[in-house]
């Protein structure tokens, strides 16, 4: 399944629709969609390393815009849609305790979580629910999401050829490492912030 997705994304990178598809996934991931944009960003940047910076810019802008939707879900629709999304990711218990912790450590939570493969929607929805300052939310989101996507773009731009060869030859191993990283990120979040 992942191999087909990788090959489809590599083919999509040559299409004029590629930036729109990447932007849509990045936007949706920040508010409700379970798949991180890295799944598209990595193959697209590997297929066209000269456009890695452009793709990182798309991911950053659309992720922050999607984050505003997530913030609105938390602020306006938490009791229905927001709570459902948070519970879907297994973080529904102890929300009030987390909300109190968020008031004290909100900036650090946004900065640290925005860099990890843990779904950013947990941060965006919680930020809205906790009433975190909207201007600071946007500023911190730009910093953390920009850092994440531009760092990845830099690595792909610089080492794209060798990375692509490794993926082509050892795709299954690379996917296992990716899945372990994502699961490890969830585990780390659960233990660093047990209130959620």
With the CA atoms of 43, 113, 28 and 59 taken in that order, what torsion angle do they form, in degrees rounded to the nearest 10?
A: -50
Least confident of 3-7, 31-35, 49-53, 59-63: 3-7
pLDDT tens by residue, 112-171: 776 666 678 888 888 888 888 999 999 999 999 999 999 989 988 887 777 767 666 766
Domain range list for the chain: 2-192
Measure CA 196 to chain center. Answer: 18
Pair 86, 95: CB distance under 8 Å:
yes
Angle between helices 18-29 and 52-76 (to 10 degrees): 30
Predicted confidence band at 196 (pLDDT cuts at 50, 70, 90)?
A: very low
pLDDT of residue 131: 86
Predicted confidence band at 59 (pLDDT cuts at 50, 70, 90)?
A: very high
- Which of 29-33, 57-61, 159-163 is most confident? 57-61
Question: What are the residues whose beta carbons fall under 8 Å from the beta carbon of 78, sequence distance 6 or more?
Answer: 125, 128, 129
Share of the chain above pLDDT 90, in %: 24
């Amino acid at each position: 399944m992942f191999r087909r997705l990788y090959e489809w994304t590599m083919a999509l990178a040559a299409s004029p629709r590629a930036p729109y598809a990447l932007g849509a996934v990045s936007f949706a991931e920040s508010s409700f969609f379970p798949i991180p944009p890295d799944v598209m960003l990595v193959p697209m940047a590997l297929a066209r390393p000269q456009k890695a910076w452009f793709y990182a810019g798309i991911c950053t802008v659309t992720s922050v815009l999607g984050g505003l939707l997530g913030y609105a879900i938390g602020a306006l629709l938490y009791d229905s849609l927001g709570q459902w999304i948070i519970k879907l990711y297994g973080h529904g218990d102890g929300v009030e305790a987390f909300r109190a912790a968020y008031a004290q450590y909100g900036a650090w939570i946004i900065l640290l979580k925005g860099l990890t493969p843990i779904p950013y929607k947990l941060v965006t929805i919680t930020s809205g629910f906790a009433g975190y300052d909207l201007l600071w939310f946007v500023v911190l989101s730009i910093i953390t999401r920009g850092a994440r996507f531009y760092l990845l773009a830099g690595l792909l731009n610089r080492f794209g050829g060798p990375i692509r060869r490794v993926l082509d030859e050892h795709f299954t191993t690379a996917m296992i490492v990716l899945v372990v990283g994502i699961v490890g990120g969830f585990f780390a979040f659960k233990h660093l912030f047990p209130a959620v």
